[in-house]
Structures are given as structure tokens and as C-alpha cells.
């Protein structure tokens, strides 16, 4: 499912790790821009480390990336590269060029599980209209998600209650993420880039359901049928 030259954004303990993948620099930046625009402020306020592989980059090119990220309110914090010249340029700009915990090769590993380097977030209350929870890891809500409320998670979303608002699981692009709820009738349900709405007619007796992506679309599977 991984396309060869995808821009990957991954949550790591220190912030975000952005793997730019192989390809021409400006084209990579355009792809990154697209990813950031799609995530609609999800990464806002975060800091990022760019993994640029063995690219030769000048300070100006790194600045381009920094400005692009800044536009989406993400701070460029480090650049990882196997190329000495790039590393040096980044180091001169005061950026971190080495992460003890993270090897530049890590991005090449196939990730099938949702990216869970962030601890899950447990929300022990009902989310009312206008309230938002954004979290790069899994999100568990003990309570309801009312219409007008929004939960966006990098991983799974589990709601011990009713879902009427907007939920977005796998918001960083993981289409293996799921949404589980006792009563699942969201205004809109998204998993990675897929979008679904609840059927118009009301169900008489709601059953717990799990929504996941199957055959290119979101399906809700009643818990009993499993």
C-alpha cells in the first residue's frame, strides 16, 4: 500500500518525523505542502525533523522547507541526512542533525500498525459542540461525542458512548486505523483520506460498531457479527 515516493509524517517522541522520500526537491516540497494542507492544522504547534536521505541540500533549500513548515505552524527542528554536506548546512543553521533514538533508516520500515509512538489519549468526559480533540496517537473517549464536536487521531478512535460529531482516525494517513463506538452515527467519519457519512434514516436500536477501510471504502461492521 505504500507508494514508492510518499511523504511520510510520523509521530516520534521528540515531535514529528517527516520522511520526504526520493525525488526532486521542489516536487517533494510540493507534496509535503499538500500533506500539510490536507491535515488542516493537525500538526499545528508541533516541531518536526526532516529526514532527507542522501540528498545534497544547501542552506537556502533547507530554509525553503523551514518556511513551508512555518506556514503551517510547524517548527523545523532538525534535519537528518546521510550526506555530510547537508548535515553541515543544517548544523550551521542551528538545527539538530542527529537523533539518538531515531535512525534515518527507520522510515523505510513498513508500518502496518497505526503509528503509536505517542501514548494514547484518554478523554474522560463528553465532548460538546465546538470542542475538539486532536492527538497524534490513539484517542479513547469515555463519554459521548456530540454533534459539532471533533475528534482527530493519528491512530484509532474508541468511544465508549455515542458519536454524533466528526471523527477522523488515522489522520496522518494510516488507513488501517479504525473507529469503534457504542453508537456510531457521526456527522462525518474519516479514516486517513476516506470519508463517509451516516445513513440518513435513523436506526431504532443502535449496536456497537467498528468502522474500517475495506476494499477502498469505509465500512461499519456491527460488533455482534464478528
Q: Which of 212, 207, 208 is nearest to 156 (CA)?
A: 212
Owner of C-alpha cell 525525488 = 23
> Cβ closer to other proteins: 2 or 129?
129
Footprint of other proteins on residues 121-160 (CB under 8 A)?
125-131, 144, 146-149
Q: Is 92 exposed, middle or buried (0-12, 13-18, 19+ CB in 10 A)?
A: exposed
Q: Kindly list the distances between the CA atom of residue 19 and the CA atoms of 117, 122, 133, 155, in Å, as whole numbers in the listed order.
A: 16, 28, 25, 18
> Cβ closer to other proteins: 84 or 124?
124
CB of 129 to other proteins, least distance (A): 4
Q: Is 61 exposed, middle or buried (0-12, 13-18, 19+ CB in 10 A)?
A: middle
> Cβ closer to other proteins: 23 or 161?
161
CB of 145 to other proteins, least distance (A): 11
CB of 143 to other proteins, least distance (A): 9
Site string for other proteins, 77-116 (x = CB under 8 A): ----------------------------------------
CB of 134 to other proteins, least distance (A): 16
Dist. CA 169–CA 186, nearest whole Å: 13
> Cβ closer to other proteins: 149 or 180?
149
For Cα atoms 16, 18, 24, give the angle at the middle one, nearest 5 degrees.
165
Dist. CA 215–CA 213, nearest whole Å: 7
Footprint of other proteins on residues 200-219 (CB under 8 A)?
none
Residues near other proteins (CB under 8 A) are 125-131, 144, 146-149
Amino acid at each position: 500500500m505504500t507508494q514508492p515516493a510518499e511523504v511520510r509524517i510520523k509521530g516520534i517522541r521528540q515531535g514529528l518525523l517527516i520522511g520526504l522520500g526520493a525525488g526532486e526537491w521542489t516536487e517533494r516540497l510540493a507534496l509535503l505542502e499538500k500533506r500539510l494542507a490536507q491535515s488542516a492544522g493537525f500538526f499545528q504547534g508541533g516541531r518536526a525533523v526532516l529526514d532527507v536521505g542522501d540528498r545534497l541540500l544547501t542552506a537556502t533549500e533547507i530554509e525553503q522547507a523551514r518556511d513551508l513548515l512555518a506556514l503551517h505552524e510547524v517548527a523545523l527542528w532538525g534535519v537528518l541526512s546521510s550526506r555530510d554536506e547537508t548535515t553541515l548546512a543544517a548544523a550551521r543553521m542551528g538545527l539538530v542533525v542527529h537523533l539518538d533514538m531515531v535512525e534515518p533508516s527507520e522510515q523505510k520500515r513498513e508500518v502496518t500498525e497505526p503509528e503509536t509512538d505517542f501514548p494514547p489519549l484518554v478523554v474522560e468526559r463528553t465532548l460538546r459542540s465546538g470542542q475538539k480533540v486532536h492527538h497524534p496517537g490513539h484517542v479513547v473517549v469515555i463519554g459521548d461525542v456530540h454533534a459539532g464536536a471533533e475528534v482527530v487521531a493519528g491512530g484509532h478512535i474508541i468511544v465508549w458512548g455515542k458519536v454524533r460529531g466528526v471523527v477522523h482516525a488515522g489522520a496522518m494517513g494510516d488507513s488501517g486505523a479504525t473507529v469503534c463506538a457504542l453508537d456510531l452515527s457521526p456527522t462525518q467519519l474519516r479514516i486517513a483520506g476516506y470519508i463517509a457519512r451516516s445513513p440518513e434514516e435513523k436506526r431504532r436500536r443502535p449496536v456497537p460498531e467498528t468502522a474500517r477501510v475495506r476494499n477502498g471504502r469505509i465500512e461499519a461492521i456491527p460488533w455482534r457479527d464478528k
